[in-house]
Homo-oligomer: A and B are copies of this chain.
Amino acid sequence: MPSDLGPVVRKLSTHSILDEADRAAILAAPHSLRTLEPGAFITREGDKPQYCALILSGLACRHKVTAEGARQITSIHLPGELVDLHNIFLTVSDHNIQTLTRVEVATMTLAAVDTLTGDFPNVGRAMWIDTLIDAAIFREWVVNIGRRDAISRVAHLLCEFAVRLESLGLADDHAYDLPMTQDQIADAVGLTPVHINRVLKELAEKGLIVRNKRTISIPDWAKLSHVGDFTSRYLHLEQLGKDESGERRFFR
């Protein structure tokens, strides 16, 4: 797999079945590469999308800023994720996409995406599903922010990261590096950074997480996921392997 776009195939394969031709088409898709420093904007609210960016390595987030100047992160994105699928079919972007770490992005022209989705229906379907799963995560964030208290909220976020990173092979054994400041975590869960600090401390004191700089490890998954009221259903990682029962959803 000599292409840069391997992470995309890997990501789409977490939820969709791609055949050899599909994978080859993705890997062969024309694109260009850029490396962005932390804090760089991939997309800005109000932009008219000209190309489709996707993440090859590093972390990025979507966010919006209220009139009061408060920032709310609406999602975090990991390697392989096609962040601009939420923009390119709409005329104007309604949110910002900004890097959290140094990020390698690939950008494809809209025409290239069009070719992929048009000529390879499985790929188009996989991309649609990808955006549907993003939407499922947004819904869960609405619930998390709307109806869970601070401790649960943070615990839930940490669980989500663990599962998503593991599904991409980027975390082992419920331990991972979380290169976000407490300020950014606060903006992700709708709290203040001071309170995040206290909550992280409390989670650590209760033995629910172990912190070492920005590395998080989860000694007792059952406990943390219970506190965070976390179930991974909304991440839809169980799409595959259901086929034998005739419940295959890829009916195309």
Binding site for B on A (CB under 8 A): 45-46, 48, 62, 64, 66-68, 70-72, 74-75, 85-86, 88-92, 94-95, 110-111, 114, 118, 121, 125, 128-129, 131-136, 138-143, 145-148, 189-190, 229, 233-234, 236, 238-239, 242, 247, 249, 251-252
> Nearest Cβ distance between residue A48 and chain B, in whole angstroms?
6
From B48, B88, B190, B252, contact of A146 by CB (8 A): B190
A45 CA to B121 CA, complexed, in Å: 28
Contact B135 A236 (CB under 8 A): no
Contact A64 B94 (CB under 8 A): no
- Given the known interface contacts A91-B247, A242-B91, the answer about A74 and B139 at a Cβ–Cβ threshold of 8 Å is yes
For this chain, the copies found in one complex come to 2
- Given the known interface contacts A128-B89, A128-B128, the answer about A139 and B247 at a Cβ–Cβ threshold of 8 Å is no
Which B residues are CB-close (under 8 A) to A95? 136, 139, 234
**Residue picked from A45, A86, A140, A146, most chain B C-beta under 10 Å:** A146
Which B residues are CB-close (under 8 A) to A128? 89, 128, 131
Which B residues are CB-close (under 8 A) to A233? 45-46, 92, 94
- Given the known interface contacts A110-B251, A131-B135, the answer about A147 and B92 at a Cβ–Cβ threshold of 8 Å is no
Contact B249 A111 (CB under 8 A): no
Contact B70 A118 (CB under 8 A): no
> Nearest Cβ distance between residue A184 and chain B, in whole angstroms?
13
Which B residues are CB-close (under 8 A) to A71? 147
A75 CA to B242 CA, complexed, in Å: 29
A90 CA to B250 CA, complexed, in Å: 9
Q: Which residue of chain B has its CB nearest to the CB of A133?
A: B90
A71 CA to B89 CA, complexed, in Å: 32
Q: Which 10 A-B pairs have the closest CB atoms?
A: A146-B190, A138-B138, A135-B135, A70-B147, A94-B234, A72-B143, A74-B139, A72-B146, A67-B229, A72-B147
